Amino acid sequence: MTVDLSNARILISNDDGIHAPGIKVLERIALELSTDVWVVAPETEQSAAGHSLTIRRPLRVREYGDRRFSVDGTPTDAVLLGVNTVIKGKRPDLVLSGVNRGANLGEDVTYSGTVAAAMEAVILGIPAFAFSQCVLNGGEPYWRTAERWAPQIIRQALAVDWGPNILINVNFPDCPPDRVTGIEVTRQGKRKIGDELVERLDPRGEPYIWIGAQRSEDSSEPGTDIEAAYRGAVAVTPLRVDLTDHPAMSLLAGAFAL
Ligand code: MN
């Protein structure tokens, strides 16, 4: 999966939509690496869309300019169409997703459209990174932190061949670039301890439930993406698309052999 960045074709997507500030940040990051940068991103915000694919209605591609397109679907749709129909000629060598507004840590990666866009690229055989800028207490994201640290992370990671069917999930800490303590390779932590479900009545007196954005989480577990990002490090987590658990496979095989 090694990539020669000097003449690499880079496809950018996200889940916050083509008009989000984070994708402009990612375009600048990509342009530091190569001049052949394409954007194919969802028309509207698709956060928490996960790896969903639109199959019950047609998809429309809209051209915004040179190498800049939107798809009125999910992040997965955008990457699939970007690779197979929108970009003519040479296939992308690298897919970058983000920069997401907000973290994608712990099992939030399974809800994340940002991670899913990278996952789709990996399934299509293209190396991919997902980038998220953590925002812990509201306020404006430190986009400069992602912009400052992402190019070297891409370059350094691509110096090794990490193999197929793996995407690299990167979370930048919620601090200015010069306060970052370093780059740490981490494992997926545990985030969801309890959802905040808000139950209220709408203006017509009908009940509704809103899934809250705030979650309690354990940021103390060493070696996890959550612990590292909360402490001020860039958390780099390789994620496998193959979700098989091999120890459980052996145990189950034993159980069914009885
Ligand atoms: Mn998002």
Q: Per-residue pLDDT for 2 more than 80?
A: no
Q: How far is the CA of 112 from the centre of ligand 1 (A)?
A: 7
pTM of the predicted protein model: 0.95
CA distance 59 to 218: 40
C-alpha of residue 16 to centroid of ligand 1, in Å: 4
Cα of 55 from ligand 1 centre, angstroms: 22
Determine the distance separating the centroid of ligand 1 and the alpha carbon of 46, expressed in angstroms: 7
DSSP codes, the chain = ----GGG-EEEEE-SS-TTSHHHHHHHHHHHHH-SEEEEEEESS--TT-TT----SS---EEEEETTEEEESS-HHHHHHHIIIIIS-SSPPSEEEEEEEES---GGGGGT-HHHHHHHHHHHTT--EEEEEE--SSSS---HHHHHHHHHHHHHHHHTS---SSEEEEEEE-SS-GGG---EEE-B-----S-EEEEEEE-TTS-EEEEEEEEE------TTBHHHHHHHTPEEEEEEES----HHHHHHHHHHHH-
Distance 76 CA to ligand 1 centre (A): 13
* pLDDT, tens digit (0-9, with 9 covering 90-100), for 71-108: 999 999 999 999 999 999 999 999 999 999 999 999 99
What's the 238 CA to ligand 1 centre distance in angstroms? 19
C-alpha 63 – ligand 1 centre gap (Å): 22
Provide the terminal-to-terminal Cα distance of the chain, rounded to the nearest Å.
42
What per-residue confidence (pLDDT) applies to 215? 65
pLDDT digits (tens, 9 = 90+) for 204-244: 999 999 887 666 677 889 999 999 999 999 999 999 999 99
In the reported structure, the alpha carbon of residue 187 is separated from the centroid of ligand 1 by a whole-number distance in angstroms of 21
Distance CA 26, CA 15 (A): 13
Residue 212 is predicted with a pLDDT of 74
Average pLDDT over residues 131-135: 97
Q: Which residue has the tokens 């001049």?
A: 35
How far away, in angstroms, is 99 Cα from ligand 1 center? 8
State in Å: Cα 48 to ligand 1 middle. 7
Tokens (6 digits) for 53: 């694919």
- Give the lowest-confidence range in 24-33, 51-60, 87-96, 187-196: 187-196
| Average pLDDT in the chain | 95
The rounded Å distance from CA 205 to ligand 1 centre is 31
Give me the domains of the chain, ranges plus CATH numbers: 9-189+218-256 (3.40.1210.10)
Q: How far is the CA of 254 from the centre of ligand 1 (A)?
A: 42
